[in-house]
Amino acid sequence: MTEPGPGTGQAHAAAEEAARAAPELSQAELDRLSQAELDRPSQADQDRLVSPLAGADERVIEGALRPKRLSDFIGQGRVREQLSLVLTGALRRGKPPDHVLLSGPPGLGKTTIAMIIAAELGAPLRITSGPAIERSGDLAAVLSTLGEGEVVFIDEIHRVARPAEEMLYLAMEDFRVDVIVGKGPGATAIPLEIAPFTLVAATTRAGLLPAPLRDRFGFTAHLDFYEAAELEIIVRRSAALLGVALRDDGAEEIAGRSRGTPRIANRLLRRVRDFAEVRCDGVVTREVAARWSAGSAAGRSGCPPSRSRWGRRRRRWRWWPSRSWSGRA
């Protein structure tokens, strides 16, 4: 760990003052907030049993089920192999690895991989999210307190505010940030040297990232949906950790209903476990999973009959020409 320099107190004070400064939102920022409201999932989507989004209580359970090492991670073979080369090379050189960008649908293990990277490097992990970084001062306050070699994980990086995003460019390349203190002609820029770090970013919408930001990541990976055989292994591993009596046909049935997402597989396993313990003998089999599914909202494919958010949005904004405009009476 690096010793704090004489300018650390001034750097922290400048970062806190920049974070407290709350300028009026411009029209571009207002448009960005409006887009964030549209992207935010509805409460009905969050409550769906097969939703890939994690609830507050579910994150605690996921923490116990997550693998701690890259060798224990199941699936995503190509990503796992390439990431192993990057981390091994960085450890041999004694320097932080390149910045990592992970993209893909929710529930596939992006946060888990970020935690594995920190564990493999033996470095502390700082976790934040894009919506939490509203101003450049918020980002400067996080980066100015980093130690050498630490790992910073930013989830949903495509929702980072534009001023903070531009500050991130300089921090990723030169490990330096410029904090603007004050407004108008009296504003001054204070350069802050930060310790070398590794940024691990995750996004579910890689197309929303600007090209300058994507180009600054040395390693990019896209996570695909899992095969049924891989989900069976995940379900068996989770059942062993949770102490669930699970048969092979029960694991196969749950994996087939999980829509290629480990988060949904673990969620279905817990629900079927409850059904087996209350209504059956406590053993999860194919018949027990099928009986539970017959009485739940999840169908054979694991998807309840509901309209998609995209379909609702299209119907909301669809424009129909009036009869008077078309010239008909």
Instruction: Catalytic residue, from 45, 66, 204, 214: name it.
Output: 204
CA gap 41, 47 in Å, rounded: 10
Task: Give the integer Cα–Cα distance in Å for 90 and 84.
Answer: 10
pTM (whole model) above 0.85: no
Q: What are phi and psi of 202, to 5 degrees?
A: -125, 145
Residue 88 designated active-site:
no
* Run of H or E residues at 193: strand 188-193
Upper half-sphere CA count for residue 192 (Cβ side, 13 Å): 31
Q: What is the per-residue pLDDT for 64?
A: 78
Alpha carbon distance 148, 152 (integer Å) = 11
In this predicted model, what pLDDT tens digit does every residue of 179-196 receive, in sequence order? 777 777 878 888 889 999
Count CB-CB contacts under 10 A for residue 170.
15
pLDDT at 98: 95
- Residue given tokens 């990723």 in the structure block: 172
CA separation (Å) from 30 to 19, 27, 89? 19, 5, 43
Q: Which of 48, 138, 155, 220 is catalytic?
A: 155
The residue annotated as part of the active site, out of 236, 263, 267, 273, is: 263
- Report how far apart the first and last C-alpha atoms of the chain are (Å, whole number): 79
Which of 95, 99, 84, 102 minimizes the C-alpha distance to 217? 99
Q: Is 95 a catalytic residue?
A: no
- Which residue out of 110, 236, 259, 267 is catalytically annotated? 110
Please give the domain boundaries of the chain with CATH numbers for all domains: 8-40+73-222 (3.40.50.300), 228-294 (1.10.8.60)
Residue type, 103: S
Of 36-40, 184-188, 216-220, 315-319, least confident by mean pLDDT is 315-319
Query: Please, which residues have CB within 8 angstroms of residue 133's CB and are 6 or more apart in sequence?
Result: 139, 142, 154, 160, 161, 164
pLDDT for the residue numbered 1:
46
For 9, 184, 189, the CA distances from 17, given in Å and listed in that order, are 12, 15, 12
Using alpha carbons only, give the angle 83, 84, 88 rounded to the nearest 5 degrees: 120
The answer to whether 226 touches 266, Cβ cutoff 8 Å, is no
Which residue in 111, 112, 198, 220 is the catalytic one? 111
Tokens representing 79 are 């990503």
Residue 294 pLDDT level (bands cut at 50, 70, 90): confident
Confidence of residue 312 (pLDDT cuts 50, 70, 90): very low
How would DSSP label each residue in 91-154?
A: HHHTSPPPPEEEESSTTSSHHHHHHHHHHHHT--EEEEEGGG--SHHHHHHHHTTPPTT-EEEE
Residue 57, pLDDT score: 54
User: Is 8 noted as a catalytic residue in this protein?
Assistant: no
> Does the structure show a pLDDT above 70 at 319?
no
Neighbouring C-beta atoms of residue 157, cutoff 10 Å: 27
Q: Is 183 a catalytic residue?
A: no
Confidence of residue 285 (pLDDT cuts 50, 70, 90): very high
Spatial contact of 46 and 53, defined as CB atoms under 8 Å apart: yes
Question: What's the rounded Cα separation, in Å, for the pair 129 and 132?
Answer: 5
